[in-house]
Amino acid sequence: MIPPLLYAFAAMAMIVVLGLLHKHADRRDCRPEQINLLLFGWSALLGLVSLAGAGESPVAPLQVWQVALPCGIFAATAVLMFQIGVRRGLIATSWLVINLSAAIPVAVSVAWYGERVSSRQALALVAMIAALILLWLDRRTAAS
């Protein structure tokens, strides 16, 4: 069995590559809409191939559609907005804000679903919020 932490590190590595490829696309003057269409088109195709390879039916139950469609819409919109926004600002700031925004669903998950947070995890959340505040202050100082 593959340890869950390995999946987390693999996801992190793929997100790093995704960010680098977005910057590469920006440098080559690619249109964000086309990048987004190809990104999510390939994702959908690979997902279907994965289901077929696992012997699963590609026809998902209603519960899956109810979760997957809103998630896909929000993910596609977020990536498109990031790709458009990175042309107007620094990728370092944009990518950091996107990744630090993970603090919001974590906080909601703790409040809504009652998930328990260790003291180390709570400290990490506080550090994320502090980093966002520092970014905001830095951006405000740079703008004036």
**What pLDDT does 104 receive?**
77
What is the tens place of the pLDDT at every residue in 37-70?
A: 888 889 888 887 887 777 767 677 788 888 888 9
Planar angle of CA 64, 66, 67, nearest 5 degrees = 70
Q: What is the DSSP string of 81-144?
A: HHHHHTTTS-HHHHHHHHHHTTHHHHHHHHHHH-----HHHHHHHHHHHHHHHHHHHHHHHHH-
Q: What phi, psi does 30 have (nearest 5°)?
A: -75, 150
Total domains present in the chain: 1
Could you give the CA distance from residue 127 to residue 125 in angstroms, rounded to a whole number? 5
Q: Measured between alpha carbons, how far is residue 62 from residues 54, 65, 69 in Å? A: 20, 5, 11
Is the model more confident about 130 or about 103? 130
What is the tens place of the pLDDT at every residue in 63-114?
A: 888 888 898 888 888 888 888 877 777 766 777 777 777 777 877 888 888 8
- Structure pTM? 0.65
Range of the domain at 139: 4-143
